[in-house]
Amino acid sequence: MIYLDNAATTLPKPKEVAEAVTDAMNNCGNPARGSHDASLAGLRVMLRARMAIADLFHEPDPMNVAFTLNATAALNTAIGGIKGHIIMTAAEHNSVLRPVFRRGNYTVVPLDGKGRLDVGDIAAAMRPDTEAVVMCHASNLTGNVFDIEAVSGLCARKGVRFILDAAQTAGLIDIDMTKLRLSALCFSGHKSLYGPQGTGGICLGQGFRPEPLAVGGSGSESFSPTHPTVMPDALEAGTQNAHGIAGLLAGVEYIKNLGGKAFSVSDGHAGRFIKEMKGVEGVTLYGDVDAALRTPVVALNVRGRDSGDIAALLWDDYGIAVRAGAHCAPLMHKTLGTEKIGAVRFSFSHFNTDEEVDAAIAAVKELAK
């Protein structure tokens, strides 16, 4: 199998991740629920993981890191803490769109035909009751990376909260919570942090404390009828996934040890793939493929065929695993004009080889004929 679906979930995982999960399953008890060695081992895993995540995102207080099932749960929590008007973009994943649609009182900022954002349009959408801008760092469909520094500056000048969906960039592109003055950063563990599925989290900035999605056991303040308000207990009801978080910790440490190689290698693969796809008759590329900074994601279609048909042919005839369809990004598809046929998404990893990239290039060219 040639696996090119890393924007959905990375595969393979580093061996260190599987080893850490196995070790935790054999040695970690319930974190913070006892004073015996097994419970303390689980607590140490959780604390080390908070410290590693805080360091990765330049968050000064590890206790502001709370773990969730995924970025979707983190975004639901953050968005639930906003009572006023929300601004988001047409690039958003359904993990942002649906929580915002459900609550109402929002504005969607449009993008141009290549899925690019004009920050001036966010400024124009500001209202007296605007409380937050909620947006992705990069599109999961096109690979476009947005100018979050400019958005951060705008939010700071207007006194508006900034909530960032970093599902596609955490582990690939450096994010400094302090410099960006983020109210919340939401991330997935199973993508470019190379952790297990069912892991993710939220990092809170100063002065932002959303209500938890669930309340219950916390291992602290047990006689209180209300859930603790001190982080991280405030957002972590019930027994935490210490086994999965042990794997996430190993993934974060693995990424840090690579020193930027994860991005540079995968970016090189995507760049070479784009270069070969340009000018191929019958192949349509989407997004700003000439941008200086992109995630290693390439979306295309072949001769107007349904994207699901092309993905099936790539798998059945070439053993190439990609993602097709709507990618949970309906407004981006409307922007690109692909809502009827979807798009075929190739997403590269540093584990991919040059030979695998060559095979993907040859397969698409052959299908285009």
Residue 343: domain span: 2-10+262-367
Please check whether residues 210 and 333 belong to one and the same domain.
no
Domain count, the chain: 2
Distance CA 242, CA 39 (A): 10
Q: Of the candidates 217, 234, 259, which is a domain's last residue?
A: 259
Structure-token pair, residue 149 = 């520094």
Q: Is 127 exposed, middle or buried (0-12, 13-18, 19+ CB in 10 A)?
A: exposed
The pLDDT tens digits of the residues spanning 281-332 come to 999 999 999 999 999 999 999 999 999 999 999 999 999 999 999 999 999 9
Among 176-190, 218-232, 253-267, 272-286, which is the least confidently predicted range? 218-232
Q: Of the candidates 224, 259, 294, which is a domain's last residue?
A: 259
Please check whether residues 216 and 280 belong to one and the same domain.
no
Please check whether residues 174 and 286 belong to one and the same domain.
no
Please check whether residues 302 and 346 belong to one and the same domain.
yes
Please check whether residues 32 and 153 belong to one and the same domain.
yes
The pLDDT tens digits of the residues spanning 212-236 come to 888 777 777 778 777 778 889 889 8
Please check whether residues 228 and 333 belong to one and the same domain.
no
Please check whether residues 282 and 361 belong to one and the same domain.
yes
User: Would the pLDDT of 133 be above 90?
Assistant: yes
User: Would the pLDDT of 76 be above 90?
Assistant: yes
User: ∠ CA(208), CA(213), CA(125), 5° rounding?
Assistant: 50
The answer to whether the pTM exceeds 0.85 is yes
CATH number of the domain bearing residue 255: 3.40.640.10
Distance CA 188, CA 201 (A): 7
Of all residues in the chain, the percent with pLDDT exceeding 90 is 90
Please check whether residues 36 and 184 belong to one and the same domain.
yes
Distance CA 279, CA 284 (A): 9
Of all residues in the chain, the percent with pLDDT exceeding 70 is 100
Whole-angstrom CA distances from 140 to 123, 146, 270, 273 are 24, 12, 14, 17
Mean pLDDT of 236-252: 94
Please check whether residues 193 and 315 belong to one and the same domain.
no
Please check whether residues 87 and 200 belong to one and the same domain.
yes
Question: What are the DSSP calls for 68-132, one per residue?
Answer: ESSHHHHHHHHHHT--SEEEEETT--HHHHHHHHHH--EEEEP--TTS---HHHHHHH--TTEEE
Please check whether residues 242 and 329 belong to one and the same domain.
no
Please check whether residues 307 and 225 belong to one and the same domain.
no
Place of tokens 């950063």: 185
